Structure 1
Amino acid sequence: MQKEMAELSEVYERLRGEIVEGTFDAGANLVELALAERYGTSRTPIREALRRLEQDGLVERGDRGMRVRTRSPEEILEIYEVRIALEATAASAAAIRHTDLDLIRVRKAQSTMDAVSPEDPTTMMAANRAVHEAIWAAGHNGTVVDLLSRLNNHLTRYPATTLESAGRWQEALSEHHALIEAIESRDSTHAGELARAHMTKARDLRLQIYRDE
């Protein structure tokens, strides 16, 4: 059983990684037999990995079985409609419920982000997400954290980062610092407003990137 679980985990991570990296194009059919041959495994872990990836929002059912989920501006709007609301909720909750340890973790994550080179998109994305995740955790609402994590899975199918848009990196850093100050001051209303504005800008930039692709 342990060996089977390890095999499933490996197949899931490899397939997920290739979907996120764009090895499989949006809309590409994911045939179990072909994938089993590609990864040197049986169809059982492939089938289970596809099921998990469907839950993650990375694959969907098409006319000929499972396929990489397609991208669209409508989907971007749907994702961000929910994410904007949840990020505002998380920030407001963090302002009310944070502990001293939560603040230490948020500040540490932001300090790490401040030191990142704007010429390294992968590290930029990871550092930015770490700050957001620290804020989510400071709100002490597991349901909100779970939902935001799932929404982020959907956005991984859009590989370009909004943080590379002209002037956005420095702007995002400033917005983060203002948000953290509001959280530290326990100003839940202002924290929610800042988070909402921050994510609204991200939505608009994401749409612009999609149009320019």
Structure 2
Amino acid sequence: MARRVLRPRADLQKEGAALSEVYDRLRGEIVDGTFEAGAQLVELALAEKYGTSRTPVREALRRLEQDGLVERAERGMRVRTRSPEEILEIYEVRISLEATAAAAAAQRRSDFDLIRIRRAQTAMDNTATDDPPAMAAANRAVHEAIWVASHNGTIVDLLTRLNNHLTRYPATTLKVPGRWSEALAEHHALIDAIEQRDADRAHDLARDHMTKARELRLQIYRDEPAD
């Protein structure tokens, strides 16, 4: 019987750090558009770019495939392509899950959950409207606080994965004229429903909020210049 060779812990830690660094850098460059939709992701070229071996690149690509940011093509991996059909698919599921999360939060939220949601909303209220990435991050923090208040780990996991898909559509719907103030008002109404433990109203408000986001996302996609 062959003996199992145990690798030194330092080597494993070094590999883990390299994987994490490659994953973070590659994910960031996909999200910010450095690698455009459909771009080929060649392991050897990426390893040279990041100054590492092909192993952490291969593992990073595998993780990004699970995240929905890359896909397999005839010649290896590529940045996942974008389409209006995908937007509709993502939001079809997201609208349902966001509404379910809001209803569950209204039923199950603790006082601490409510404090965390309101703090996130206050931060969003005070976010500068000339900084789209900060606007999107503040908005996401409010939604994530509501997800957590649902006390349903499966919902949180699924919504996190869907949000990963949407990072390939970097333009935020919150920059559409009038949407920022509208979104703030919708958030406050939703949070009030959660505070009052009105699950039905929370469900409907979250559904309507995300339905508007879907329509705006499609509008932005239609208005994008063709490549």
TM-score above 0.5, yes or no? yes
Task: Flag the structure with larger Rg.
Answer: 2
Partner of 1:22: 33
Give unpaired runs (5+ residues) of structure 2. Answer: 1-11
1:7 pairs with one of 18, 29, 34: 18
Partner of 2:9: none
C-alpha deviation, 1:90, in angstroms: 0.2
TM-score (norm 1): 1.00
Q: How many pairs does the alignment contain?
A: 213
1:49 pairs with one of 60, 69, 83: 60
Give unpaired runs (5+ residues) of structure 1. Answer: none
TM-score (norm 2): 0.93
2:97 pairs with one of 82, 86, 89: 86
Distance 1:114 1:15 in 2: 32
Distance 1:128 1:9 in 2: 26
Q: Name the % identity.
A: 78
C-alpha deviation, 1:198, in angstroms: 0.2
Distance 1:170 1:32 in 2: 44
Distance 1:176 1:100 in 2: 18
For 1:110-189, list aligned pairs within 5 A. 110-189=121-200
C-alpha deviation, 1:139, in angstroms: 0.5
C-alpha deviation, 1:114, in angstroms: 0.3
Distance 2:137 2:171 in 1: 13
Paired residue type of 1:20:
V
1:69 pairs with one of 57, 67, 80: 80
C-alpha deviation, 1:25, in angstroms: 1.0
Paired residue type of 2:163:
N
Distance 1:2 1:18 in 2: 24
Distance 1:62 1:3 in 2: 30
Partner secondary structure for residue 159 of structure 2: helix
Runs in 1 of length 4+ with deviation above 6 angstroms?
none
Deviations 1:60-110 (A, max 9, x none): 001111000000000000000000000000000000000000000000000
